[in-house]
Structure 1
Amino acid sequence: MEQGANRGIKRRDAMALIGMGAAAAGMPGMSAAARAPVPAATPERTAGGARWLATVAGRPWQGRALPALGAVSADPFAVGATVRLDAPRQTIAGFGGAFSEKGWQALMALPPARRSEALAALFGDDGCGFNHCRTPIGANDISRGWYSYDETPGDYDLAHFTIANDRDTLIPFIQAAQRLRPDLKVWASPWSPPTWMKQGGHYAQAPAWPGQPSNGITPAQLGQEGRDSFRLDDRTLAAYARYFRRYVEEYAKAGIRIDTVMPQNEFNSAQPFPSCCWTPEGLARFIPFLAREMDKVGTRVFFGTLERGNIDLFDRVMAHPDAAAAIKGIGVQWAGKDALGPLRERYPALELWGSEQECGVGTNDWRYARYGWQTIKRYFEHGATVWTYWNMAMPQGGMSGWGWPQNSLVEVDTNAGTFRLGEDYWLVRHLSAHVRPGARLVPVESFLGYVDQLAFRNPDGSLVLVASNAVAQPSTVTYRIGDKTLALPLEPDSLNTVIVPADRLA
């Protein structure tokens, strides 16, 4: 996360209630506020397999009867927006969130049956269906505390390397997800290398925030944006690259394949929690070392994560041929979204991932879900192929280990042993539940101002249209889809997903 403005085995049985919306159906473990009933007159699935699901604040995942597709009118002003089935864009790899130690601790506070329901809500076929998730290499700000896999000073041979810490939390969390989603892809990045590999010898880069306990950092150990905190001699760079390889190998022994790594989370940000500042030139020196080790284990190297809206930071890395040849994609988060346009224009061959949804301040409210929708939309419109939420689960209050309250998809009352699916959960599910890996983004064009939607064409030919009505009054938008039209009456302040099977589009 970034401080301030810069900032298979299918559990269909456990998900029976989620099929019509877990909160709406009164799923065990849900708060009363999320149990609004689904009107019987508005089925979730209509004739021919078409579906329409709508969410407004406090009433998620409501089934609606989808209007029949009609003929195209001769009046050009009768169509609000045109879904360009003939002009597909990038291929979508998937959706997911971040595994964390505190997230697993929260889930473990639930009775086993409710924990299964929460996991199924995230990974099950009748939940979000997450298939593409993130995990930290060592400690991050949602860890139980600071640790790395080798804190023995000068251990260049990594004789003391161990992932023992992760066997209590991160590994069982990922394995639980794999039981529901055997095709799960996992990518990873560190927040800080072992302290002995850093110039200042401390896991953090900044003092604790006001009101928080001291992290013990001294003025001589502080990091600074634009300066390398990592020791850039070849011996240390090579050891750190082997550190990544040992991590990938040890996780593989636990049955977890790490598909992709990024060298550093938010490499510009000096934080009071685990962090490490790098210059673009420092990363350009490290990436070839990293790529050589990752080639040995079949793991890709992406650049990231970029948390600044300055494309020059990436250009300076790509100016080094060995680093540029190793980079297969780029992860972007927080203010990095301001660089999305130039990134897509200058580097069209690189995969572009939304690597972290902004975490909010623990309110888990509809206003922030609304902001999240606009952020997700921005990423996909600029060519993103992956979207990654941040905390999949947190205890109520959602406090990080270093004093930042956090939003999450699943909010756990650890005292009562219950959980609530937050507003962000329904936002993400409106996309992830129906947009399949291999789907293509389909542009939607409008000259009448109807620009608040995303459309995708699944591999089976079905169309997924996610449409927002952000205003406080009903709005009917007529979409042209091929040689048919769909007039969609949208509730005020609503988010809607429409699924039209391929045979209805023929």
Structure 2
Amino acid sequence: MNRARGSSTGVLLALFFAACDPSTSATEPEGAGGSGPGASGAGPGASGSGSGAGSSTGSVGAGASGSTGSDGAGGQPAGEGGAGGSPTGADPDPPVVEPTLVTSGQNNYWVTGEPTEVTSGNADVTVDEATTHQRWDGFGGTFNEAGWNVLSMLSDADRARAIELLFDRHEGAAFVYGRVPIGASDYAMDRYTLNETPNDHAMESFSIARDRERLIPYIKAALAVRPDLHLWASPWTPPTWMKSNGAMDGGRMKDDANVLEAYALYFAKFVEAYAEEGITIEAVHPQNEPNYETRYPSCIWTGPLMAKFIGAHLGPTFAERGLTTQIYLGTMSNAESGKDGAILSAVTGDATAMGYVKGFGLQWNMLGSVSGLRSRNLPILQTEHKCGNYPWNPAGSPTFNANKAPNDHAYAEESWGLLRDWIKAGVTSYSAWNMVLDTAGKNLDSQRPWPQNALLTVDTGAKTLNVTPAYHVFRHVSAYVDPGATRVGTTGGDALAFKNPDGTFVTILYNSGNSEKTTTLGVAGKKLQFSIPAHGWATVNWK
């Protein structure tokens, strides 16, 4: 059964871009101009079939669903305009029909169709609606300077199409979360913080002027499509004068009361400055990967210091300044003994700190920590999708490629396994890492620039937008599973299933075989038959 949805906001977004005064000119990133795997020569306006079919080399056809809103990164009630108003001020568009079946296989992505209802035979996969798991809050991705830099090289229409593919409820992935770096991430254009004036404990020199160049325009473009976008933020590094080594890369956070109080004020100033831009930051996480000392912006924290910062400084500062922005314990990534697990233990064992903590942010190697946190009945966010192409395992499968991002079908299949495993473990939301990069995908690592994937890529030579296979994997789930859905059980096959608030059942199935597979799905008392491409996916939307 199809569901009615609204139509695209792409035209309005194109008008929004056309009306904006560009804040900066795009610069050519290192390695730009190459064509990575899955990159297309066609711009995003290239159509698929009349039914909405498409591949990684063309645009995605109409028909994807959107979401109905979530409780947000900070548990705030959802609503239109919840994270900033729409610059267009437009009313909802007329409804379109959402397809019941979408399939994707290598070089043939997002093909719409209809399953056949059958009465005989056994189901290969059965949805067990009586077995319920976690509430689902939604999908998202990360805003980075490098993404907006390459988006700025596109025409207004193509840039609007990219934003629509990510955030639109009706013709895109319907992302409802957005992560914002506080200062430089490893995909900033270069290293910076928001206050490099030494010992400025009063934060008199704090400024988000740099963010107005590439981050805030990126966020506002997304808000034009998704006014109820839930935004959360985290730093990769504090200001250098707060660290043991006085540098952007590596070093340790100083255990000094004046510094910790100043850093809490730094967070508060960030939230307040963004609010003045019309952008609501619903939650903050104190540190990206607090136990990886990297050759790009980073900082080491201990568990007791994190507990002290949250309980004695960050939480009270937010309360004193009347900020409703919530504090999450994140983003944890290093599962090595005595690392991020020790931070989780220290903070969760500190009653004062936990009085301020409203959820957890885990990524990468922390999958094993999800089950132990579920008993606390707080949201558990998967905060960064594993980016592929692992330089510490150069002979692995797939082999590390120092010159090319892994934007191919093999990485899409890896992505499915990660999405499935984290969701089955019990996280309540899931975020991509870079939503947009150039086709090279290299980061700021000073010694080993690391080519990483993105959901969309820009060929900076041809000035064209490419849709990667991994994007389609995200969309197979995110476009159909509405915030507020409940994950339900399945038996047989490799599948995830959800029951949406409107009663619709969404089942995502994967075929790892080398041949197309005719599959029967048992759902809501019916048997539905359809084919899943080899090494491909099918999403069935049924009510």
Coarse TM-score class (shorter-chain normalised): 0.7 to 0.9
Q: Which deviates further from its counterpart, 436-445 or 368-377?
A: 436-445
- Pair 1:443 & 2:443 matched: no
- Residues 204-255 of structure 1: CA deviation (Å, up to 9, x unaligned): 11xxxxxxxxxxxxxxxxx3xxxxx111122111111111000000001111
- Residues 274-316 of structure 1: CA deviation (Å, up to 9, x unaligned): 0000011111111112122334210111111111236444122
- AA at the equivalent of 1:276: C
Q: Which deviates further from its counterpart, 334-343 or 163-172?
A: 334-343
Q: Which runs of 5+ in 2 are unaligned?
A: 1-5, 15-39, 49-53, 66-96, 390-404
- Pair 1:107 & 2:151 matched: yes
1:75-154 equivalent positions in 2, closer than 5 A? 78-125=122-169, 126-154=171-199
- Judge conservation of contact 2:304–2:343 (CA < 8 Å) in 1: no
- Pair 1:499 & 2:541 matched: yes
Identify the match of residue 412 of structure 2 among 343, 361, 369.
Answer: 369
- AA at the equivalent of 1:54: T
Identify the match of residue 203 of structure 1 among 235, 248, 265.
Answer: 248
- Judge conservation of contact 1:455–1:464 (CA < 8 Å) in 2: yes
- AA at the equivalent of 1:495: W
- Judge conservation of contact 1:29–1:417 (CA < 8 Å) in 2: no
* Shift in alpha-carbon separation, 1:372–1:24, aligned structure 2, 3 A: same
Tell me how far apart the structure 2 counterparts of residues 27 and 154 of structure 1 sit (CA, whole Å). Answer: 48
* Shift in alpha-carbon separation, 1:27–1:145, aligned structure 2, 3 A: closer
- AA at the equivalent of 1:382: A
Tell me how far apart the structure 2 counterparts of residues 327 and 38 of structure 1 sit (CA, whole Å). Answer: 39
- Residues 361-415 of structure 1: CA deviation (Å, up to 9, x unaligned): 3120111111111101111111111110011111121111221112111110122
Tell me how far apart the structure 2 counterparts of residues 56 and 50 of structure 1 sit (CA, whole Å). Answer: 17
Tell me how far apart the structure 1 counterparts of residues 57 and 343 of structure 2 sit (CA, whole Å). Answer: 47
- Pair 1:462 & 2:504 matched: yes
Tell me how far apart the structure 2 counterparts of residues 298 and 245 of structure 1 sit (CA, whole Å). Answer: 11
Tell me how far apart the structure 1 counterparts of residues 462 and 267 of structure 2 sit (CA, whole Å). Answer: 39
Partner residue, 2:332: 306
- AA at the equivalent of 1:354: Q
Partner residue, 1:28: 45
- Judge conservation of contact 2:64–2:479 (CA < 8 Å) in 1: no
- Residues 170-217 of structure 1: CA deviation (Å, up to 9, x unaligned): 000000000000000111100000000111111111xxxxxxxxxxxx
* Shift in alpha-carbon separation, 1:254–1:9, aligned structure 2, 3 A: farther
Q: How far has the Cα of 1:69 moved from its partner?
A: 5.6
- Residues 435-480 of structure 1: CA deviation (Å, up to 9, x unaligned): 111111112134xxx2x11111111111111110111133344333
What's the Cα RMSD here? Answer: 2.8
Partner residue, 1:208: none
- Judge conservation of contact 1:25–1:38 (CA < 8 Å) in 2: no
- Residues 29-61 of structure 1: CA deviation (Å, up to 9, x unaligned): 79997357999xxx999xx96511111111100
Tell me how far apart the structure 2 counterparts of residues 26 and 274 of structure 1 sit (CA, whole Å). Answer: 34
Partner residue, 1:355: 383
Partner residue, 1:219: none
Q: Which runs of 5+ in 1 are unaligned?
A: 1-7, 17-22, 206-222, 224-228, 502-506
Tell me how far apart the structure 2 counterparts of residues 114 and 37 of structure 1 sit (CA, whole Å). Answer: 10
Identify the match of residue 238 of structure 1 among 245, 261, 266.
Answer: 261
- Residues 108-133 of structure 1: CA deviation (Å, up to 9, x unaligned): 00011111111111111211111111
The share of aligned pairs that are identical, in percent, is 35
Partner residue, 2:476: 430
Tell me how far apart the structure 2 counterparts of residues 92 and 44 of structure 1 sit (CA, whole Å). Answer: 18
- Pair 1:417 & 2:463 matched: yes
Q: How far has the Cα of 1:154 moved from its partner?
A: 0.6
- AA at the equivalent of 2:218: F
1:59-78 equivalent positions in 2, closer than 5 A? 59-68=108-117, 70=119, 78=122
1:209-358 equivalent positions in 2, closer than 5 A? 223=251, 229-288=252-311, 289-295=313-319, 296-309=322-335, 311-344=341-374, 347-358=375-386
- Judge conservation of contact 2:64–2:480 (CA < 8 Å) in 1: no
- Judge conservation of contact 2:141–2:175 (CA < 8 Å) in 1: yes
- Judge conservation of contact 1:10–1:180 (CA < 8 Å) in 2: no
Tell me how far apart the structure 1 counterparts of residues 162 and 356 of structure 2 sit (CA, whole Å). Answer: 38
- AA at the equivalent of 1:57: Q
Partner residue, 2:401: none
SS in 1 for 2:111: strand
Tell me how far apart the structure 2 counterparts of residues 306 and 38 of structure 1 sit (CA, whole Å). Answer: 34
SS in 1 for 2:206: coil
- Judge conservation of contact 1:44–1:65 (CA < 8 Å) in 2: no
Tell me how far apart the structure 2 counterparts of residues 412 and 230 of structure 1 sit (CA, whole Å). Answer: 36
SS in 2 for 1:485: strand
How many residue pairs match? The answer is 450
Partner residue, 1:386: 429
Tell me how far apart the structure 2 counterparts of residues 247 and 35 of structure 1 sit (CA, whole Å). Answer: 39
* Shift in alpha-carbon separation, 1:283–1:108, aligned structure 2, 3 A: same
* Shift in alpha-carbon separation, 1:109–1:35, aligned structure 2, 3 A: closer
SS in 2 for 1:196: helix
Partner residue, 2:211: 166
Identify the match of residue 520 of structure 2 among 472, 478, 487.
Answer: 478
